[in-house]
Amino acid sequence: MMWRRGGDSPAQSSLRCTHIDSVNAVAKPYIVSESNISRNLAGTRRFLRALFSRSQSTLGAALVAFFFFLALFGGQLAPYPKANDQSHDARVSPTLDIGSLQLGAHPFGTDRLGRDVYSRVILGASSIFRTAGLGTAISVVLGSALGMAMGYRGGWLDELLGRVIDALLALPALLLALVMVGIIRNLDLAINSWQAALADEVTLLVIAILYIPVVARVARSAALDIKTREFVAAAEIRGESSAYIIFREILPSAIPALVVEASLRFSYAIFLVASLGFLGFGAPPPSPDWGLMVNENRGGFYRLTPWALEFPALAIALLVIGVNLMSDGIRRAVQKGGA
């Protein structure tokens, strides 16, 4: 794990801006903040240059950025923002107005219910980022805190939680996710409409819970390594609290490893969300969920409207490939600096 060793990697310095507390130093005769800021900018630039020096990583980042843009502005971009419930002419093939080189009325065609596939694919981006993205973020934050505490404190708590985590990791993620969704749904069948409205939140929660142990394990091993360094002993000698040592001394050095882990988790989460949707355990119809759309349009309808299945499937594939390429790039960029 090269990025944890060695002094400073570009990613590390780029992330340093999060814990600088020298704002009040401006009043001093020797001014700090400017050099700090320029240093962090330089670090970020170095990191980005390393990231974009490979065309694969650039492509990955561009794909992710593209879908994120769709997630933010999909509502404005989709020609039929209400394509969830509005039916048009059923089963229209993809059209392209060749003469004026403009997208036709239904560039990706319509599905068996006559809904515009193009609009639905665009609208589906936002729920992916809300569930997979936010779920990953929550799992990274909580998992890091848990793993760091386990790694630093050690002892029986670490032993106990470590075993639980090992047990959880032994089970297939999808299986666990299905069980969890099942449990949550069974909590209160009476208010089904409530369940439907909160379907995305349930998925988000499942992703977060599912990935906390995975992230915790990475954070734990990072903390185990970093805590042997002498600056941690120096902090202990000062009588610092565990929380101070974990968050102020150890965490900054672990961030590169955690960023790599987060990007990797995100790509798994996208796939998991799509799988849940496909199996009918995600958002209920008529949500524009990519996994759900693949399911709705498979089987007999496939021969009639192949495009209604192919375009959402393509969207899933592109986003997953993009995240993977970007994650690989981040890992390399972090390593390059750390080595």
Site of interaction with another protein (CB under 8 A):
7-8, 12-13, 16, 19, 21-22, 24-25, 28, 30, 32, 35-36, 39, 229-231, 233-234, 236-240, 249, 252-253
In the complex, the smallest distance separating the C-beta of residue 249 from another protein, rounded to whole angstroms, is 6
CB nearer another protein, residue 103 or residue 235: 235
CB nearer another protein, residue 32 or residue 198: 32
CB nearer another protein, residue 207 or residue 251: 251
CB nearer another protein, residue 72 or residue 234: 234
In the complex, the smallest distance separating the C-beta of residue 163 from another protein, rounded to whole angstroms, is 18
R_g of the chain computed on alpha carbons: 24
In the complex, the smallest distance separating the C-beta of residue 172 from another protein, rounded to whole angstroms, is 33
CB nearer another protein, residue 89 or residue 230: 230
In the complex, the smallest distance separating the C-beta of residue 167 from another protein, rounded to whole angstroms, is 23
In the complex, the smallest distance separating the C-beta of residue 339 from another protein, rounded to whole angstroms, is 12
In the complex, the smallest distance separating the C-beta of residue 231 from another protein, rounded to whole angstroms, is 4
CB nearer another protein, residue 21 or residue 89: 21
CB nearer another protein, residue 6 or residue 182: 6
In the complex, the smallest distance separating the C-beta of residue 59 from another protein, rounded to whole angstroms, is 23
The Cβ of residue 209 has, within 10 Å, a number of other Cβ atoms equal to 17
